[in-house]
Amino acid sequence: MLYKLWEGSWAPDAIIEDVENDAYVDPERVRQINHHGRFFDLETRHIVDPSPQRTPFLFQAGTSL
């Protein structure tokens, strides 16, 4: 579900940075994500613009013996 938000919510050209018209985002290019799962339902948009790599770097630190 998080990948849907990170990868699918913001179109690559959603950030327009139009200073003259005081606009940063084209709202038509930010899509709503609808997730209906076993444990919860989600109908929202990712409210933060994506980072350059889109998906955060995920890793597991440590070891188990």
pLDDT tens-place string over residues 21-57? 999 999 999 999 999 999 989 999 988 888 888 888 8
What is the pTM (predicted TM-score) of this model? 0.71
Token pair, residue 6, equals 């990170």
The average pLDDT across 1-9 equals 86
The average pLDDT across 7-28 equals 94
- Identify the pLDDT of residue 56: 82
pLDDT at 64 over 80: no
